[in-house]
Chains A and B, each alone.
Chain A
């Protein structure tokens, strides 16, 4: 018997719980040759800003054991080019496209949310709060519950589309931030974003990345991500998207046990552009093998 793979994510019915993570899947189009985009639950675009951003100098990425660091600098085409050049492709695919976005002030976040709300091709919004607030001395929005809440409520006020808030793991208490975002009107929380890290070249005595620090992703971060998903899932009512080092169906199912309703596949898509599709297929196979009729029955089913 074919198991039920559908999940309901903040009002969106996904054909399965596997999504792609922002910044690892372009605007969808780049992967059309390698993935059946209609075999995955949803995909998330590269983070958008009001103006196009050219990004950081190179080197921008470096591999470390079990993971990679990136300091791309949020390079993106900007909202205008997204609407003109990228959105038409999204229309051609029968899979929800979620627009990830970020700003440097609360007003920028709100303006972007308002504009994305008007784009019919965009099924939901994912707000990246791991950016510095230029009006408040560069404090990262997502590291302070009040700052995070101010971004979320400003976005909430201008969109009725599902609002996903992507949480930063670079905080002392992720649960406090998660609660603040939920209270401010988030429909869903996705976690974790990359962990801040760095790599050093001993011989040159210099940092490897031009930006010195970068976001750490890949299988090495999975235990941290699982722990945070589990902590947050116990504390909030909104659904959670688990992200962090998911390389295969086993990893994805573990996140669901920890409390995630859906998962995002990130770095794995760099290594294998068809990773998200493969993970969705393998999850279904696992359900069949283990006599699980409905994938939803695994959400938060961790026994402790």
Chain B
């Protein structure tokens, strides 16, 4: 669906990271965790293409004053990395955005009896909040949030408020453990009594490490990928990722925007 959204708020939540709330049509409330939107930053030709963003949250805002209509909204969490996101961060309340979505295949909620282990790196937390919000309804959920510094650990209090047990790790030790977040994940897996599912989104190196851990231990794992994409609807074929059997001789590419962005980690090709 394509719609014009009005920005309700746009604030920097950590240096370089922004959280934007905008109006959405009522149908958007059924967006699946892990789906994404393609946002046109402005009507001009620079930036030319839409930018993809994970859906951080969806909901309905009921204004305090009487007589006001309840307003469905969506939220995105984004990092300013270039011209497009810099322009997005400069937008204000009541500014309008052209949005396409929700797009792609989201997370599978798995078996409620399993413990859910969510691993997020930096802005990779963006699609994981809505996921956690759904998962806590039926399963115990733990979040493993990693980043280079404390500035990359985002919205942890929001996750805690959901009842998610949060572990944090930073490479410089400025927040939580010093090191990689996969260390805390491994410790949890060692202590695990029953079955678990892993959900991950973040830098490719982190996803690779998590996918390898999941494969070694035979634990189901879903990863959400990023891709350079022009359209978000499966036409440009820019955003493909190598599938499990991919090689230079027998290429096997998966389209991130339509077959993903969420994949079973075993479907994809990883480095050992």
Identify the A interface with B (CB < 8 A): 23-26, 30-31, 33-34, 54-55, 57-63, 65-68, 70, 72, 75, 218-219, 247, 267, 269-274
A25-B45 in contact (CB<8A): no
Contact of A60 among B40, B50, B234, B240 (CB under 8 A): B240
B235-A24 in contact (CB<8A): yes
A247 to B45, CA, bound (A): 9
**Interface residues of chain B: helix, strand, loop or mixed (majority):** loop
Contact of B40 among A70, A75, A269, A271 (CB under 8 A): A271
Beta-carbon contacts under 8 Å, B232-272 to A: 233-242, 251-253
Query: Which chain B positions have C-beta within 8 A of A54?
Result: 251-253
B23-31, B194-202, B222-230: which one contacts chain A? B222-230
Q: How far is the CB of A277 from chain B (nearest CB, A)?
A: 12
Q: How far is the CB of A246 from chain B (nearest CB, A)?
A: 12
B49-A63 in contact (CB<8A): yes
Between A and B, how many residue pairs show CB distances below 8 Å?
A: 92
B231 at the interface (CB under 8 A from A): yes
A58-B230 in contact (CB<8A): no
Query: Which chain A positions have C-beta within 8 A of B48?
Result: 63, 66-68, 218-219, 267, 271
B235-A61 in contact (CB<8A): no
Identify the B interface with A (CB < 8 A): 1-2, 40, 45-50, 98, 100, 227-231, 233-242, 251-253
Query: Which chain A positions have C-beta within 8 A of B240?
Result: 55, 58, 60, 75
Give me 29 A-to-B residue pairs in the complex whose CB atoms sit less than 8 angstroms apart, sorted by A's number.
A24-B235, A24-B236, A26-B233, A26-B234, A30-B233, A31-B233, A33-B1, A54-B252, A55-B240, A55-B253, A60-B228, A60-B238, A61-B238, A63-B47, A63-B49, A63-B230, A65-B46, A66-B46, A66-B48, A68-B230, A218-B48, A247-B45, A267-B48, A269-B231, A271-B40, A272-B40, A272-B98, A273-B233, A274-B2
A269-B49 in contact (CB<8A): no
A34-B2 in contact (CB<8A): yes
Q: Which residue of B lies closest to A20 (CB)?
A: B235
